[in-house]
Amino acid sequence: MQTQPIAQDTADDAVTVLYRAHALRLTRLAYVMLGDRGLAEDIVREAFAGLRRRSVRRSDTAQAVFYLRTSVLSNCRTVLRRSSAARALTLVDIGEGPMSVVAAAETAALGSAERRTLMSAIRRLPARQREALVLRFCLDEPEAEIARLMRIRPGTVRSTTYRALAALGRLLAATP
Amino acid sequence: MSTGHGAGAQFGLAARARAAVLATADEIRAEDVPPAPAWAPAESPRLGALAALAASARTVLAKAVFAKAGGRARG
């Protein structure tokens, strides 16, 4: 029995295809930003539900992916602004997660203690600096795309990343 | 800008930070993500609270706009 119009089914199929291609990466991005698996899943689910509801042209994959990324980022920012979430970040244990399935040699070489220290420092960076670093590392997209997502100029992405690394170095140096 | 030594140190730090970010991202495995999207509205009380907050802000704004428009109409 058909319960929805055919047009809605077609739209749902298009979003499902996008989901299968991008949900994992978006969830990872939100998880790195927030350090909370449940929140990351909620935010990605909401982004796809938003895509389904909105008039974003689902046939335009690039535009739809851009919508999904900006939606995830926007919700991550909202969560991070809340003080309760900020407290939760200090409680998350990032060192005891499951073994990586696709760990590259460089990630495998990094000890869990060092990773915990680095992630703790990254999460203490000012929001824009943290975002610039995480987007660059997680999405592996050109500077221009990061700039578009952050609504800043490519040159600002470069300088923000530079400042983020400098601040990260200072934070690590101050870590006992 | 950075000196040669500083740039080298920053490059090393960038590589370590990248490795930490990627290793953390990999904690979410493919099988952790549901194979199909859930179309039901998010049930999360956390996002629900956010949505309620946003709705409340929109209501306040709408009331303010209507009040202003009403004031203009009366004036």
Asked if residue B38 belongs to a domain, the reply is no
- Tell whether B9 and B28 lie within a shared domain: yes
Q: Which fold has domain A106-176?
A: Arc Repressor Mutant, subunit A (1.10.10)
Q: Which pLDDT value is given to residue B54?
A: 67
Domain for residue B58, yes or no?
A: yes
- Per-residue pLDDT, averaged over B48-66, amounts to 66
CA distance A100 to B26: 5
B32 vs A contacts (CB less than 8 Å): 27, 37
Question: Does residue B39 form part of some domain?
Answer: no
Please give the residue of chain B at the shortest CA–CA distance from A41.
B33
Instruction: Kindly state whether residues B25 and B1 are assigned to the same domain.
Output: yes
Chain A residue with CA closest to B36: the answer is: A16
Confidence of residue B46 (pLDDT cuts 50, 70, 90): low
For residue A167, give the nearest of A115, A132, A116 by alpha carbon: A132
ipTM above 0.90, yes or no: no
The CA-based dihedral angle spanning residues A175, A176, B2, B4, taken in that order and rounded to the nearest 10 degrees: -140
Q: Which of A171, A104, A98 is nearest to A140 (CA)?
A: A104
pLDDT of A64 reads 92
Q: Determine contact, residues A32/B21, Cβ cutoff 8 Å.
A: yes
The domain spans of chain A are 1-93, 106-176
Residue B18 pLDDT class (50, 70, 90 cuts): very high
A5: region left, alpha or beta (phi > 0 left; psi from -120 to 50 alpha): beta
Q: Which of B2, B11, B33, B43 to mutate to test the interface with A (most CBs of A within 10 A)?
A: B33
Is the per-residue pLDDT at B21 higher than 60?
yes
| CB-CB neighbors (< 8 A) of B55 in chain A | none
Distance from the Cα of A158 to chain B's closest Cα (Å) equals 13
- On chain B, the residues whose CB falls within 8 A of the CB of A103 are 23, 26
Q: Let me know if residue B69 belongs to a domain.
A: yes
> How many independent structural domains does chain B possess?
2
Residues of B in contact with A172 (CB under 8 A): 13
Whether the predicted model's global pTM rises above the 0.90 cut: no
What is the four-CA torsion angle of B54, B55, B58, B59, rounded to 10 degrees? -140
Can you tell me the distance from the alpha carbon of A44 to that of A134, in angstroms, rounded to the nearest whole number? 16
pLDDT of residue B42: 45
Is pLDDT larger for residue B75 or for residue B13?
A: B13
pLDDT average per 10 residues of sequence, chain A (176 residues): 54 86 96 92 93 73 93 93 57 40 50 90 92 93 94 96 95 86
Task: For residue A167, give the chain B residue with the closest CA.
Answer: B10
Query: What is the reported pLDDT for A107?
Result: 54
Select from A31, A48, A81, A107 the residue whose CB has the most chain B CBs within 10 Å, as the one to mutate to test that interface: A107
Q: Give the nearest chain B residue to A98 (CA atoms).
A: B27
Question: Which range of residues forms the domain containing residue B29?
Answer: 1-33
Name residues whose C-beta falls within 8 Å of residue A54's C-beta, 6 or more positions apart in sequence: A67
Chain B residues touching residue A46 (CB < 8 angstroms):
42, 47
